[in-house]
Structures are given as structure tokens and as C-alpha cells.
Amino acid sequence: MLVSFSAKNYKSFYDEVTLDMRIEVNDKSREEVENNPFVYKINDDYISKLCILYGHNGSGKSNLLNAIRYLTNVNIYHDTPANYKYLFIPNMIYGKDENTEFTLEFYYNNILFFYKIILDNKNKKIEYELLKENNNIVFERNNSNIVNGNDFFINIKGIPNQITVMAYCYSVDDYRKNIKNYQNIFVKNFFSYAFINFSEALFSDIDNVYSILKNSGLWNIYKKLISLADVGIDDIKVIENNNYKISTNYMENVLFERNKYKLISIHKDYEADFRKVESDGTKNYANNLFGILGALRSGILCVLDEFQGVQSELLELVISLFQKNMFEDLDNPTAQLILSTHDTNLMSLKNTLLNHYWFINKEDNKSELYCASDFEDLKRDDLEKEYKRNSLKAKYNSRLFEVPSKFFIDEDINK
């Protein structure tokens, strides 16, 4: 379960920013926090299960969410250099030649883990790594060598400076068995089958999607939630694809829709190929719902960057799924959701606290991140009103008063 994430000198974040999912509790707030369905307690920490992230276009929302994704990926996969490429991106205005730093704090099996990495942007190498388990050092790396750690890691030398300790150990046969348990702490917290936020992605791999949903017991729940999304859909089903042709080339299968199955939507008067007849919004919902249910089942983090083309009521439904005890047969209390959005209707969502709302604001090519609970005098019921007044620093209407009543186009296109 994610506890905190920080980034320094990464893209628009020059000064260090921290997304802290802990909720501070005092005698006055204890009962409210303990009974909130979007809060889960591990040891002495009250941890938010929900982060709804706001910010104007270009403020840095995607930068933050992508950083979490790539940072966890470099410790899960050992053969994907693109993940490193996307982390070695400093703030080009203020920190072009300075190091980039990330930290990640999370619980796994009630054990608190802390991970830190420092990237040398000038030389494109990993300068430092640290992994701690309940404040005990698992490994500490300086450049290519382990300088501190447990009995296994302390003997490892000559780590390539372009990959993480975890990735290197997994790539070496003699180390792989020993590294599995530590790799799992990342996999079990952050890995999911979520697709990119693109309405067509689901259908390129429908065979795998159907198999996973069926085998995990999620297929009936998935169908029910799809029918709730569109009043015209009574049900969905999967049928065999008569045009299916096997190919050993994976990309050919994706490009030419070479799947054994097709997703069919059932309406009152007809049945048709879901992909061809449903709206982009419904397809996008179906696409993201697959990853959402996987996160709920596994109790891991689900990150959705601007759920496009979906009405407020559906977003509210998606968020409500992450409440404790929402489904009797789908209740994993450690599941979390981070959702970036521009939908202010979500500010009136039932059962949410100020701690569940975060903002990113960008000024002078620097992004800052802060929580609604940071404003001491802000009342929960006034959140939407104050945000729309631009009184929370983050810009609801970033250039509302800069738009002229008429735009004039220069007739001389060569000027």
C-alpha cells in the first residue's frame, strides 16, 4: 500500500514534492478518520485509499503519475530500458545538470519499506540506491557497488550503472532466486494489468482480458458494471471470432485483431460487436474497468490519468468501488486509487475528506503539489467553491480573464 512518493528535479518538479497518503489524526478527528471508508489503518498509520488530483492543463499531473509508474517498473522489469529513459528527465530550466531524486514508501504484509534512488543526469547513470525494511537496510548502493546491506546483497559487485539493483539481480541466474521476494514487494503493490487510457487498447488483447477476468472470478462483476455504464446495454458476452487466424507475430495479432474471441454488447433489439457500436466513452470505461477490478482484487495501487469521455456519475461509481467493504467477494482493503481529473463534481463526493483531494500548480516552470487539508481554514463543504474562485493556488480557470472577446487573425500569413 502506497504511503508516500516524492520527486525532486523531475520534469516540471524542480523543488521536491511529496504525495503523502498518511492522514494525521488527533482526538477531534480520530473517529471520523477511523470510520471513513476511504481510509485504512496499518500499524499506527492511517492511510488514504484515494487521491483525486486536480490541476490546470500543463501543470504536471501526468508527470507525477508517470514518475510513479516508471519508478516501480524499473524494479519489476529487468529488460525494459525505456522505463529508465523516462526517468532521466530533469527540469530543463533550473536543473538540467543536477541529479534527479525519487523516494517511495509503502507497506507490504504490514512491513514498511522505503526506497530511494538518485540519478546522475549528466552521465546518465544511477548514482545511489537504498532499500530499507522496517528501517533496516536491505541494500545501499553507491554507483556500481553495494556498500551496505544484508548477507545476500553485501557481496554483490559490479552492478551496471544504467540499471537498478533489483533489475540486475533478476537478470543473473545465480541471484534470481534470492531476489524474488524483494521483487514481489513491488509487484504486489504496484503491478496491474491496467491498459493505457486509450479506448481501443482493450480489444487488441481481448483473449487475455477474458481469460484473466474469468479465471479470477471477476467476469460477472465486469459485465454488471459495464451494463450500469450505458443504459442501452443489457448485457455483454464473448463469442468465438470466425475470422481468427493464428500468427507467431504478436504485433500482427494486435494490428489485425487476431483474437480467438470478440466482445459482444447485447441491446434490447440487437446484438453487435462492442468495439464497433459503442461510444468511445463506454469503450474507455470498459478498458479502464479491467485494470480497476484487477487492482481491487489484488489490493494494489490503480493509477488513472484523466479518465476521458466518462460522465461524472461513472467516475463516482469507479471511486466508490475503492471503499472498504464495497463488495463482499471483492474486498481487499489495501487497494488504492489515484485519479487525475478536471471534474469538480467529484469535490462533492460522499464520504471523502479534504485529505483525499490534491492539487498541482505550476508557476515559472516549477510545479508544486499540495493537499486540500493543508489549508487550515478550509471547510470540507467549501472545497469546490474555493477551488473555482482560484483561492487554493491551483488554477481552476488558469487564463479565464486573458481570453479576448474577439480573436484577430493576421491576413498576411507570411508575416
> Residue ranges per domain, the chain?
2-190, 194-299
Inter-residue contact 246 to 191 (CB < 8 Å): no
pLDDT, tens digit, 9 for 90 and up, residues 335-376: 999 999 999 999 999 999 999 999 999 999 999 999 999 999
**How many Cα neighbours within 13 Å face the side chain of 180?**
5
Query: Among 281, 277, 329, 285, which residue's Cα sits nearest to residue 304?
Result: 285
State how far the Cα of 70 lies from the Cα of 301, in Å rounded to an integer.
14
| Amino acid in position 279 | S
CATH topology of domain 2-190: Rossmann fold (3.40.50)
CA angle 366, 371, 376 (to 5 degrees): 115
pLDDT, tens digit, 9 for 90 and up, residues 220-257: 999 999 888 777 899 999 998 877 666 566 555 555 55
Query: Among 116, 290, 115, which residue's Cα sits nearest to residue 212?
Result: 290
pLDDT, tens digit, 9 for 90 and up, residues 276-333: 888 888 888 888 898 899 899 999 999 999 877 778 888 898 999 999 877 766 778 9
> At residue 118, what are phi and psi to the nearest 5 degrees?
-120, 125
The pLDDT of 63-86, averaged and rounded, is 90
> At residue 18, what are phi and psi to the nearest 5 degrees?
-135, 125
DSSP 344: G
Q: Quick one: what percent of the chain has pLDDT higher than 70? A: 88
State how far the Cα of 176 lies from the Cα of 17, in Å rounded to an integer.
34
Inter-residue contact 115 to 130 (CB < 8 Å): yes
Inter-residue contact 344 to 43 (CB < 8 Å): no
| Amino acid in position 45 | D
pLDDT number for residue 33: 97
State how far the Cα of 190 lies from the Cα of 1, in Å rounded to an integer.
8
Cell numbers found for residue 372: 486540500
| Amino acid in position 32 | E
